[in-house]
Amino acid sequence: MVADRALLANTSETRRRGLLRHERLDDGEGLLITPCEGVHTFGMKFPIDVLYLTKQRVVLKIRAEMPRRRISFCLRAHSVLELPAGMAARTRTEAGDQLSVDRVEKE
């Protein structure tokens, strides 16, 4: 499991804000941005792992431990999953892996 508490950014406002207001991401946390083909870490306070996904949630590309003040793209991606730095390596996630997403509504 790469995340069990990932937030969904699927509006213009939530995609634009992303993780900018976060101080860190703990293991199990993440942000699924959809639709999305690229991200930046300008204004962020910590590095992240970036997983680029197809519509079917197949991992196309991983940008591991992406530092602050960087830009990354994958034009074939449909969405991006942002995770704590090192999470892809700790979970042995690789390009070609299929992720599943279960949506849980807040109570």
Written as six digits, the tokens of 100 are 């599943």
How many other C-beta atoms are found inside a 10 Å radius of the C-beta of residue 39? 24
CATH of domain 3-90: 2.60.120.1140
pTM over 0.85: yes
Write the pLDDT tens digit of every residue in 28-75: 999 999 999 999 999 999 999 999 999 999 999 999 999 999 999 999
Alpha helix segments (H runs only) across 12-81: 12-17
Q: Do residues 83 and 2 make contact, with C-beta atoms less than 8 angstroms apart?
A: yes
Q: Where are the domains of the chain?
A: 3-90
Do 79 and 32 meet the contact criterion of CB atoms below 8 Å apart? yes
